[in-house]
Amino acid sequence: MRYLKYTGFGILGIAFVFLAIFVTMSLWNWLIPSLFHGPVLNFWQTAGLFILSKILLTGVAPGGRHHAYRRGWHHRYNEKYRTCCEEPNPDQTAQQV
């Protein structure tokens, strides 16, 4: 029963990719030739364009979406800024003078 579930998700995933490519091809062939006098694309050219845009926009790094380093940059920046640029306490400046 478990294999049937995974097979169904696999088929749905493949169908979603084909649907996304078909929608991209339809939009391209509807807009680009009439607006910019660009080429009409077939399914496989659109699939290549789809894969190329995925590579250029998201990268090909293995490991999925492990962006823990990116999420913490704001916290690290604030900590570094606080330690570097702390304003002196008015009581402390009066004692130093």
The number of distinct structural domains making up the chain is 1
Surface-to-core class of residue 23, CB atoms within 10 Å of its CB (0-12 exposed, 13-18 middle, 19+ buried): exposed
Task: Report the SS3 class of residue 39.
Answer: coil
Instruction: Please state the pTM of the whole predicted model.
Output: 0.59
For 19, the domain range is 1-59
pLDDT in the model for residue 91: 65
Please indicate, yes or no, if residue 8 is contained in any of the structural domains: yes
Please indicate, yes or no, if residue 82 is contained in any of the structural domains: no
What digits encode the pLDDT tens for the residues 1-47?
A: 788 888 999 999 999 999 999 999 999 999 999 999 999 999 999 99
Please indicate, yes or no, if residue 41 is contained in any of the structural domains: yes
At what angle are helices 2-36 and 43-58 packed, to 10 degrees? 100
Using alpha carbons only, give the angle 49, 68, 84 rounded to the nearest 5 degrees: 120
What digits encode the pLDDT tens for the residues 43-88?
A: 999 999 999 998 898 887 766 555 555 667 777 777 777 777 666 6
Please indicate, yes or no, if residue 11 is contained in any of the structural domains: yes
Please indicate, yes or no, if residue 83 is contained in any of the structural domains: no
Please indicate, yes or no, if residue 79 is contained in any of the structural domains: no
Q: How confident is the model at residue 95 (pLDDT cuts 50, 70, 90)?
A: low
